[in-house]
């Protein structure tokens, strides 16, 4: 039985930044923008301030309106702000492109400002606008396009309960601990080296004996069967351990150069802890770890490039210790 997951779109913030860059004719690529945002310290509470800081980092001239929000001759356009439009209840997130003779031209970027943006909003302000020319098209086109592709991606995700037995989960954890295999996790740097960063604060353990040890060999074979690939494409098992507060912020599992990982089979080895969900910010869902359950998702498209929707992370563990095992399927 392969349960499916239902999702909702929530990526207005990323769209806003991408659009902003576009106004300045800067083409950073959606993937880069989104990965940068989701890697932020403040994730998932991306605020207008965070976005502004991000834009500054990329040298994008703009203004972030703080109350009182008056448009003056000195205002730098585009300006981003949260405004309340006449006769409408909710606030909307906008980019004000220009103001001419009391007519404001703006991009209406969110019909429903996502809660993660609102809760942490540092700058709520109300413009005294006489006439508003709203261009909803950009946002709607974006949302439509993303939604259909998202649906197709979500259909490829599945979970298998009891992929590993209790005994196998325990065996794996004990094996890594007793052989002192856990080391501080690293992330791949742009130059191909590995480094310790705040992006990934957990511990990792590669089980290099997984093709000899009978328990592990059996698991590798089971993974190959489930994923319908040759055993040679199954990478050596990698366990991960997260203590209190540790996390792995959203990332892609494959590498731009080097190892290409077509799919990930993530197996949860325990569930007696709090927090630590596997989160997919692009498609707005998270998976609660369940002992023995395997979660399968695809990382690459037909051109072997990272699929934006596969962006995922391990949310911070808030109590206890989480153990999981990555079984990567190479191209």
Return residues touching Fe ion (CB under 5 A). Answer: 253
Q: What share of the chain is helix, strand, coil (3-state, %, to 5)?
A: 25, 25, 45
The entry of ligand AKG, Fe ion, none that residue 267 binds, CB within 5 to 8 Å by partner kind: none
Long-range contacts (CB closer than 8 Å, 24 or more residues apart) made by 71-79: 71/96, 71/99, 71/104, 71/127, 75/99, 78/20, 78/23
Of residues 91 and 253, the one with the C-beta less far from Fe ion: 253
114 in contact with ligand AKG (CB under 6 A)? no
Among 15, 47, 278, 310, binds ligand AKG (CB under 6 A): 278
Relative to beta strand 238-242, strand 312-314 is unpaired
Q: Is 240 in the site for ligand AKG (CB under 6 A)?
A: yes
Residue 110 interacts with ligand AKG (CB under 6 A)? Answer: no
Tell me: does residue 270 bind ligand AKG (CB under 6 A). Answer: no
Bridge partners of residue 7, in order along the sequence: none
Minimal distance, residue 326 CB to Fe ion, in Å: 7
310 binds ligand AKG (CB under 6 A): no
CB atoms within 10 A of CB 30: 17
**Among 44, 78, 314, 316, which residue sits at the site for ligand AKG (rule: CB under 6 A)?**
314
Residue nearest to Fe ion (CB): 253
Q: Does 312 bind ligand AKG (CB under 6 A)?
A: yes
Site size for ligand AKG (CB under 6 A): 9
E-assigned strand segments in the chain: 63-64, 79-84, 91-100, 103-108, 131-135, 158-160, 183-184, 187-188, 194-195, 203-206, 238-242, 248-251, 261-268, 274-275, 278-280, 285-287, 294-298, 312-314, 317-319, 322-330
Q: Is 253 in the site for ligand AKG (CB under 6 A)?
A: yes
Contact flag: residue 261 with ligand AKG (CB under 6 A)? no
Under the binding rule (CB under 6 A), the answer on residue 326 touching ligand AKG is yes
- What span, in angstroms and rounded, lies between the C-alpha atoms of 219 and 142? 41
Tell me how far, at minimum, the Cβ of 312 lies from Fe ion, in Å: 6
> What does the binding site for ligand AKG look like in residue numbers (CB under 6 A)?
240, 248, 253, 266, 278, 312, 314, 324, 326
């Amino acid at each position: 039985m392969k349960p499916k997951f239902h999702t909702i779109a929530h990526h207005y913030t990323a769209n806003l930044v991408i659009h902003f860059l576009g106004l300045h004719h800067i083409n950073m690529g959606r993937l880069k923008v989104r990965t940068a945002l989701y890697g932020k310290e403040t994730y998932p509470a991306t605020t207008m301030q965070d976005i502004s800081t991000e834009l500054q980092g990329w040298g994008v001239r703009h203004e972030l309106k703080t109350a009182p929000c008056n448009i003056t001759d000195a205002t730098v356009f585009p300006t981003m702000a949260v405004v309340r439009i006449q006769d409408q209840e909710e606030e909307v997130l906008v980019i004000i492109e220009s103001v001419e003779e009391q007519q404001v031209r703006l991009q209406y970027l969110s019909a429903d400002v996502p809660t993660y943006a609102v809760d942490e909003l540092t700058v709520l302000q109300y413009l005294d606008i006489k006439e508003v020319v709203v261009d909803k098209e950009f946002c709607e086109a974006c949302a439509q396009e993303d939604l259909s592709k998202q649906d197709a991606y979500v259909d490829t995700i599945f979970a298998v309960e009891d992929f590993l037995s209790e005994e196998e989960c325990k065996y794996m954890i004990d094996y890594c601990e007793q052989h002192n295999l856990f080391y501080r996790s690293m992330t791949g740097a742009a130059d191909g080296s590995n480094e310790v960063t705040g992006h990934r604060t957990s511990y990792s353990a590669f089980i290099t004996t997984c093709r000899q040890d009978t328990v592990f060999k059996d698991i590798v074979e089971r993974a190959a069967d489930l994923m319908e690939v040759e055993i040679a494409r199954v990478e050596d098992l990698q366990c991960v351990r997260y203590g209190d507060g540790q996390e792995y912020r959203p990332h892609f599992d494959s590498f731009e150069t080097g190892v290409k990982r077509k799919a990930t089979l993530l197996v949860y080895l325990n569930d007696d802890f709090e927090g630590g969900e596997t989160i997919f910010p692009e498609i707005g869902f998270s998976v609660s770890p369940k002992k023995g359950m395997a979660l399968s998702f695809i990382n690459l498209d037909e051109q072997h490039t990272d699929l934006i929707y596969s962006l995922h992370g391990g949310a911070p563990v808030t109590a206890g210790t989480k153990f999981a095992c990555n079984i990567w399927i190479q191209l």
